[in-house]
């Protein structure tokens, strides 16, 4: 533990050093200033609090169905959400579904005590991962009911290593562990844990709600017209190199690309290299001649999940880097999905590939070989679409299992 605590101390010092020239690090530091005072002023001593911790935006979306069901079924509780990363906190700090939203303090023994004194939760829920050892130890000491949801464990993780003793002890803090698959349950059983329930992944419930609440996007409707639309979401440079070639080889198909980061250089390259012409979403006006352009660049946030509803095919970025982004947002609309080679740590992507609703591609020839039959064979396209949609529908229901079990 002393090594763990030392590592966290050095981590904070490193962030402080780079903060003056690194905006994300600066937000990380500034967001934690006077944290405990602000918590004490906001959270009343008599409040009954359910605390939900998420690492960043992706985990927030994973935990959001639980937050919203708790709101409906247990209004007697106040909801506290904490984030570790600025990329989640800054986007969702005004989320109306929670009563309190704060950064999580760095996990020192003293901070763990001060945080729990201020928050005084009756129930603590961790989404997917984030095993903070001092906080979990203090929760256990205070006998706070603690859960982890939508978790997934792999044989090569630290819990199953000879030196992972303190991490295995941390798992003893959980009253129940809700995991995504049977493999995780078996792995935990090998360590002696029998408080494990295979509930599934709450993201399926979230994307189903997103599909039901999809917005009408007038600019996309005008751009698409009577054409079929290919939507590429959360793309990076290597993805866009392949997509430019695919666009130029398919002048009769409309494309929409939503870059993961609004890098001006990459946006300008898309505009310059697309032979069929390109538009930026933020520069469209009622007078824009949508029909004369092949590509619409979605250079804004918050619309991608609704835009998938206008598409016939989809591509998910990130697979040529650290890993692909959210495939379920596209699959829930019944879209065939393609992505780069780095996808194997994502269970839903592996499942979709096995079922034939998705394809991993390593180069342009493989991307084109996937797309061409889906473009030319309507029966094949509809069959693939049904597989994707049925998969997302079949895996819904984790949220109900989790909330009902916690309150039994």
Decide if 126 contacts 68 (C-beta within 8 A).
Answer: no
Q: Looking at the DSSP assignment, which residues form a beta bridge with residue 295?
A: 255, 278
Cα dihedral 59, 62, 67, 69 in deg (nearest 10): -170
> pLDDT value at position 408?
85
Q: Which residue has the tokens 């996309």?
A: 220
pLDDT category of residue 235 using cuts at 50, 70 and 90: very high
Whether residues 265 and 355 share a domain: the answer is: yes
Q: Is the pLDDT assigned to residue 275 strictly greater than 90?
A: yes
Q: Is 68 left (phi over 0), alpha (psi -120 to 50) or beta?
A: alpha
The residue-averaged pLDDT of 123-151 equals 95
For residue 20, give both structure tokens: 């003056």
Q: Based on the domain organization, do 292 and 180 belong to the same domain?
A: no
Residue matched to tokens 């494309």: 255
Round to whole Å and give the CA distance between 27 and 237: 26
Q: Does residue 402 have a pLDDT over 90?
A: yes
Mean pLDDT computed over 362-377: 98
CATH number, position 84 = 3.40.50.11720
- Please report which confidence band the pLDDT of residue 160 belongs to, taking 50, 70 and 90 as the band edges: very high
pLDDT > 90? residue 82 = yes
> Angle at CA 377, nearest 5°, toward 375 and 381?
75
> Which contacts qualify for 340-344: CB closer than 8 Å, 24 or more apart?
340/238, 340/239, 342/318, 343/319
Does residue 263 carry a pLDDT above 90?
A: no
Whether 139 and 251 share a structural domain: no
What's the number of domains the chain is made of?
2
Q: Are 387 and 242 within one domain?
A: yes
Taking alpha carbons only, the member of 317, 354, 355, 322 closest to residue 338 is 317
Same-domain check for residues 114 and 98 = yes
13 and 79: one domain?
yes
* Over residues 51-74, mean pLDDT: 95
Residue 129: pLDDT above 90?
A: no
- Give the domain CATH number at 246: 3.40.50.2000
> Domain check: are 145 and 219 in the same one?
no
**Same-domain check for residues 254 and 352:** yes
**Burial of 2 (C-beta count, 10 Å sphere; 0-12/13-18/19+):** exposed
pLDDT value at position 301?
84
What's the average model confidence in pLDDT over 281-308? 91
Cα 161 from Cα 167, distance rounded (Å): 10
3-state class (DSSP) for residue 174: coil
CA distances from 276 to 92, 219, 246, 371 (A): 37, 18, 12, 19
| pLDDT at residue 296, as a whole number | 97
Mean pLDDT for the chain overall? 95
Q: Does pLDDT of 78 surpass 90?
A: yes
Q: According to the model, what pLDDT value does residue 1 have?
A: 83
Confidence check: pLDDT of 262 > 90:
no
Place 287 in a pLDDT band, splitting at 50, 70 and 90. Answer: confident
Task: Calculate mean pLDDT across residues 24-52.
Answer: 95
Do 202 and 251 fall into the same domain? Answer: no
Same domain, 356 and 402: no
Quote the pLDDT of residue 392: 96
**Closest by alpha carbon to 70, among 46, 48, 91?**
48
With a pLDDT cut of 70, the percent of the chain lying above it is 100
Under DSSP, is residue 147 helix (H, G, I), strand (E, B) or coil? strand
What is the DSSP track for 32-56? TTTHHHHHHHHS-TT--EEEEEESS
Distances 366 to 293, 339, 359, 370 between C-alpha atoms, Å = 26, 11, 9, 6
Least confident of 85-89, 112-116, 185-189, 378-382: 85-89
**Dihedral of alpha carbons 138, 131, 203, 57, sign:** positive
Same domain for 222 and 183: no
Instruction: Please give the model's pTM, rounded to 2 decimal places.
Output: 0.86
* Mean of pLDDT values over 245-273: 94
**pLDDT tens, position by position, 7-36:** 998 999 999 999 999 988 999 999 999 999
Residue 279 sits in which domain range? 215-394
Percent of the chain at pLDDT exceeding 90: 88
Same domain membership, residue 188 and residue 68: yes
Q: Which of 53, 37, 34 is nearest to 144 (CA)?
A: 53
């Amino acid at each position: 533990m002393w090594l763990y605590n030392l590592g966290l101390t050095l981590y904070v010092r490193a962030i402080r050093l780079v903060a003056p020239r690194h905006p994300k690090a600066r937000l990380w530091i500034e967001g934690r200033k006077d944290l405990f005072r602000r918590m004490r002023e906001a959270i009343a001593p008599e409040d009954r609090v359910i605390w939900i911790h998420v690492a960043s935006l992706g985990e927030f979306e994973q935990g959001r169905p639980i937050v919203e069901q708790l709101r409906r079924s247990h209004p007697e509780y106040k909801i506290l959400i904490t984030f570790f990363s600025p990329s989640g906190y800054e986007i969702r700090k005004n989320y109306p579904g929670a009563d309190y939203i704060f950064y999580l303090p760095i996990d020192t023994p003293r901070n763990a005590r001060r945080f729990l004194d201020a928050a005084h939760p009756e129930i603590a829920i961790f989404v997917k991962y984030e095993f903070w050892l001092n906080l979990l130890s203090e929760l256990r000491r205070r006998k706070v009911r603690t859960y982890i949801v939508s978790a997934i464990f792999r044989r090569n993780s630290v819990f199953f290593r000879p030196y992972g003793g303190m991490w295995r002890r941390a798992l003893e803090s959980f009253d129940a562990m809700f995991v995504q698959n049977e493999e995780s349950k078996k792995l935990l059983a090998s360590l002696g844990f029998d408080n494990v329930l295979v509930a599934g992944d709450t993201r399926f419930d979230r994307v189903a709600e997103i599909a039901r609440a999809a917005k009408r996007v007038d600019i996309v409707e005008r751009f698409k017209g009577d054409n079929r639309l290919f939507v590429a979401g959360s793309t990076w440079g290597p993805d866009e190199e392949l997509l430019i070639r695919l666009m130029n080889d398919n002048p009769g198909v409309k494309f929409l690309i939503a870059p993961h980061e609004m890098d001006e250089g990459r946006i300008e390259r898309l505009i310059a290299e697309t032979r069929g012409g390109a538009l930026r979403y933020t520069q469209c006006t009622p007078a824009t001649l949508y029909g004369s352009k092949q590509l619409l660049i979605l250079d804004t946030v918050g619309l991608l999940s609704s835009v998938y509803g206008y598409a016939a095919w989809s591509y998910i970025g990130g697979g040529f880097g650290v890993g692909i982004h959210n495939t379920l947002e596209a699959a829930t609309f019944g879209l065939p999905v393609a992505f780069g080679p780095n996808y194997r740590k994502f269970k839903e992507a592996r499942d979709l590939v096995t079922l034939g609703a998705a394809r991993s591609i390593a180069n342009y020839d493989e991307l084109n070989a996937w797309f061409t039959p889906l473009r030319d064979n309507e029966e094949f396209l509809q069959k693939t679409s049904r597989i994707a949609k049925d998969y997302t529908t079949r895996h819904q229901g984790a949220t109900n299992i989790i909330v009902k079990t916690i309150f039994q």
